[in-house]
Amino acid sequence: MIRQISESSDKAATGNHRMKTRKRIALSVTYFFMCLFALFFIFPFLYMVLTSFMTEKEVTTLPVRLFPTSFYLGAYKASLSPQLFRYLLNTIIVLAVNLVAVPLTSVFCAYGFTKVQFQGRNLIFAVLLSTMMLPAAVTQIPLYIMYVGLGWLNTLLPLTVPAVFGGGIVNIFLCKQYMRGLPNAMNEAARIDGANHFQIFINLIVPLCMPVVVLILVNTFLSCWNDFMGPLIFLRSEKVWTLAVGIYMQFKGDYNVNNYPNIQMATSTLLSIPGIILFFIFQNQLMEGVVMGSVKG
């Protein structure tokens, strides 16, 4: 009896051992592929940053290499031109308005759609949500004509004024998703105590919504910072260009003294830095936000 037990436990042990080796091999294979693909995904960054440290001669000598021979900062010096600071200033103006207006109005509207009862609430929300399907091309042309008529062309108004009006349905949707999770009992208690909706909104809801506000702030920053087609259409004069348009225009055309790959990549690296910093600080919120904005609704 005892022998039998020890025999079977022996068998189990070898089986266990085999299982473990098998698992270890599977794990190694998994890690191998994960690293391989990780290399693939960081390659654009690597290429951009490494090229930005090259000299003009290195980027125009064949064969082109991935790694620079020295730590050359000339390309950064060349890319930090006075124009770049003007583009930065314009971008900061757009950012300032959007970063205040978008979170504020989207939380405000989302409160109405989530916690206040009124006639036609679901219908209005459905109509707003359906505009996500509308191609930008349909509205861009009349908006351009409207801005020309208002004298807004070549000003920053087309990039700032729309932010005051609800901050975009995507952000309202995000807030709404978040607010649905807040208990209604709290609202009702406050109402019984005689608070009206506006007091509840300011004193209760806004402080509770800070996590989603942070997400909206980061998203708004990234979308303003990266926005290109809108500014390209509405800003035809150099003095109002934002960073994205300014940099695009600066490097348009063939290679020349001011337009070598190393300078292009140095400028691109500088342009990417704020987003990367924000991403590393808020990566959890951002990745959750990607999910929250999709199917949970």
Partner 1 sequence: MNRVKEKPSVVIRNWLKKNWVGYIFVCPAVLGFLIFTLWPMLASFVYSFFDYDMILPMQNFGLQNYIRAFTIDWDKFSKSLSVTFLYTVTAVPLDLVVSFALALLLNKSVKGIKVFRVLYYLPCIMPSIASGLLWRNFFDIEYGLANSMLAALGLPAGTFFTSSKTAMVTLLFTSLFGMGGSMILWIAQLKSIPTELYEAASIDGASVFRRLFQITIPLVTPMIFYKLVLGIIGALQAYSGAFIILQGGPGPDESLMFWGLRIYYSAFGQDIPNMGYASALAWMLFLVIGLLTVVIFKTNKWTFYGEDAQ
Residues numbered 31 to 60 that lie near partner 1 (CB under 8 A) are: 31, 33-34, 37-38, 40-42, 44-45, 47-48, 51, 59-60
Which one among 79, 91, 98, 269 touches partner 1, defined by CB under 8 A? 269
Give me 269's structure tokens.
């690296």
Question: Which residues from 228-267 bind partner 1, rule CB under 8 A?
Answer: 228-229, 233, 243-244, 247-248, 251-253, 255, 261, 264-265, 267
> Which position among 53, 87, 113, 178 is part of the footprint of partner 1 (CB under 8 A)?
113
Q: Does 206 bind partner 1 (CB under 8 A)?
A: no
Contact between residue 56 and residue 77 where contact means Cβ atoms under 8 Å apart: no
CB-nearer residue toward partner 1: 6 or 35: 35
Q: Between residues 3 and 252, which has the closer beta carbon with respect to partner 1?
A: 252
Q: Say how far apart CA 251 and CA 101 lie, in whole Å.
A: 32
Of the candidates 126, 185, 257, 291, which one interacts with partner 1 according to CB under 8 A?
A: 291
**Shorter beta-carbon distance to partner 1: residue 64 or 189:** 64
Please tell me whether residue 18 binds partner 1 under the rule CB under 8 A: no
Is residue 269 within 8 A of residue 48, CB to CB? The reply is yes
* Binding to partner 1 in span 67-96, by CB under 8 A: none
- Kindly report whether the peptide bond that precedes residue 63 is cis, defined as omega within 30 degrees of 0: yes
Stretch that binds partner 1, among 25-33, 74-82, 92-100, 181-189 (CB under 8 A): 25-33
